[in-house]
Amino acid sequence: MKTLRLRPGKERSLQRRHPWIFESAIAKGGGDSGETVRVESHDGQFLAWAAFSPSSRIRARVWSFDEAQRIDAPFFIAACARSIIARARFDVQSDGVRLVHGESDGLPGLIVDRYGDTLVAQFTSAGTERWKGVIADALLRETGLAKLYERSDASVRALEGLPPATGWLRGGPTGAPGDGEGPPLELTIHEHQWSLTLNIAEGHKTGFYLDQRDSRKRFADYTQRLGFKDVLNCFCYTGGFSVAALAGMRAGGGLADGHVTSIDSSGPALERARAHVALNGFDLNHASFMDADVNASLRQFLKEGRRFDAIILDPPKFAPTAAHADRAARAYKDINRLALQLLSPGGVLFTFSCSGGISADLFHKIVASAGADAGVDGFILERLGGAPDHPMTLEFPEGEYLKGLVVMRKG
Ligand code: SAH
């Protein structure tokens, strides 16, 4: 059995059950890629069983803090089962559900999303890579499903020294005549009151932004209650918030004069956004789509004197880690300042950051300083986070990657 001996004092985060062991904490020891190692304090006390990642700055990730626990197939079956059972207790209004959310579910480096009868998994650590076959079988066994597609093409895999890997892991084409490419990659989910499609091979992440499910619903509720007529959805991807806005207008009786403008720099995402408007029974006269840069578009709208009743800002990750925080903070501040200037009095901004490197507190300060620069004051109506199937835990605060604020411009 291989061991990792930590430097004096470096046992503290593990004693608080935080699952990461940084390269700088290690005095000696190691193992092969993904191998289970016994982690000990400087004086030889057992701390955890962890998966070794020889090329990552996070040099090991904890599987268990229990010395008696064996890290074997039954361990992964039990961990997958716990994670899936927890989802049954969360309030998830969709058949698109995150079943395993990495560290928060005790499975660092594993993401599993379920879209109807299809599972899509991302293996982003040396440990999950090593146990991939066992985990794949455990997921099928615990869900009763047969189809599992792998989307291990996230950039973080490079930090682990792992090449990208995509394709069917289970339930794929058999090679039999007429079987073709295997099961469909194009799927439809039913979220709240709307239908949305995705492609599990080509979409972002595992195909879709499930984490924004309830913020989309929240936006629909605000639209219905406050009667937004002119909505701007920035970084719209496949238009989930655009459909939510139109659904809110319809529910509030204001669809006849409603309009949603959606901006994204991805042509294929916009095509799908347009299809989603039609799929949900809305006339395309109520929607326009701009294949453009958000920052430039906001500046152009300001020049033109345009105003909106509500604006969504859901940009990509500007700061993947804390090291990018400064530059990211300026980028967030810029778009938030422009958006606040573009709001009508009484208008509402839904603004988000999905950057792990920007804390909720820092994000709040960035938006506040954007308001100060814009000369706009606003009420913070609420704070938003990821949907409940993307949980954070007491022990792993890094799990809070997605944060949002709902700000109403003072009238
Ligand atoms: N709100 C979406 C998810 C947004 S993901 C949802 O609910 O599904 C971020 C999107 O920003 C991606 O679609 C990406 O194509 C787009 N994007 C990234 N940089 C951009 C830019 N500078 N201007 C416009 N869109 C951009």
Cβ atoms of 236 and 209 within 8 Å: the answer is no
Size (the chain), residues: 411
Beta bridge partners of 409: 378
According to DSSP, the β-strands at 308-313 and 230-234 are parallel
pTM reported for the whole predicted model: 0.96
How many C-beta atoms lie closer than 10 Å to residue 114's C-beta?
Answer: 26
Residue 239 contacts residue 277 (beta carbons within 8 Å): yes
Please tell me if the CB atom of residue 263 comes closer than 6 angstroms to any atom of ligand 1.
yes
**What is the pLDDT tens value at each position of the chain, 411 positions in all?**
899 999 999 999 999 999 999 999 999 999 999 999 999 999 999 999 999 999 999 999 999 999 999 999 999 999 999 999 999 999 999 999 999 999 999 999 999 999 999 999 999 999 999 999 999 999 999 999 999 999 999 888 999 999 999 999 999 998 777 777 789 999 999 999 999 999 999 999 999 999 999 999 999 999 999 999 999 999 999 999 999 999 999 999 999 999 999 999 999 999 999 999 999 999 999 999 999 999 999 999 999 999 999 999 999 999 777 788 889 999 999 999 999 999 999 999 999 999 988 999 999 999 999 999 999 999 999 999 999 999 999 999 888 999 999 999 998
Ligand 1 center to residue 166 CA distance, Å?
A: 23
Tokens of 70: 């064996």
Q: What is the Å distance from ligand 1's center to 212 Cα?
A: 13
Q: Is the shortest distance between the CB of 266 and ligand 1 below 6 Å?
A: yes
Sheet containing 26-29: order of strands: 20-22, 58-64, 46-52, 36-40, 2-6, 26-29
Residue with the smallest CA separation from ligand 1 atom 12 is 237
The residue ranges of every structural domain in the chain are: 3-64, 73-185, 209-409
Mutate to test the pocket of ligand 1, among 192, 265, 298, 332 (most ligand atoms within 8 A of CB): 265
User: How would you class 344 by CB atoms within 10 Å of its CB: exposed for 0-12, middle for 13-18, buried for 19 or more?
Assistant: middle
Any ligand 1 atom below 6 A from CB of 179: no
Answer whether 2's CB lies under 8 Å from 52's CB. Answer: yes
3-state per-residue secondary structure call for 138-157: HHHHHHCCCEEEEEECCCHH
Superfamily of domain 209-409, CATH level 4: Vaccinia Virus protein VP39 (3.40.50.150)
Q: Tell me the chain's radius of gyration from C-alpha atoms.
A: 23
Predicted local confidence at residue 181, as pLDDT: 79
The verdict on the CB of residue 265 being under 6 Å from ligand 1 is yes
Fold of 73-185: Transcription Regulator spoIIAA (3.30.750)
How does DSSP assign 235-261, residue by residue? Answer: S-TTTHHHHHHHHHHHHTT-GGG-EEE
Number of other CB atoms surrounding residue 221 within 10 Å: 16
Look at ligand 1, atom 25, and give the residue with the nearest C-alpha.
Answer: 264
Is 237 touching ligand 1 by the criterion CB < 6 Å? yes
CB of 241 sitting under 6 A from ligand 1: yes
Q: Give the 3-state secondary structure of residue 262.
A: strand
Which amino acid, residue 257? D
Tell the CATH topology of 3-64.
Answer: 2.30.130
- Compute, in angstroms, the gap from residue 208 CA to the centroid of ligand 1: 12
Q: At a CB cut-off of 8 Å and minimum separation 6, what does 335 contact?
A: 234, 294, 295, 298, 313, 315
Helix axis angle for 267-279 and 240-251, nearest 10°, is: 30
Ligand 1: centre distance to CA 411 (Å): 29
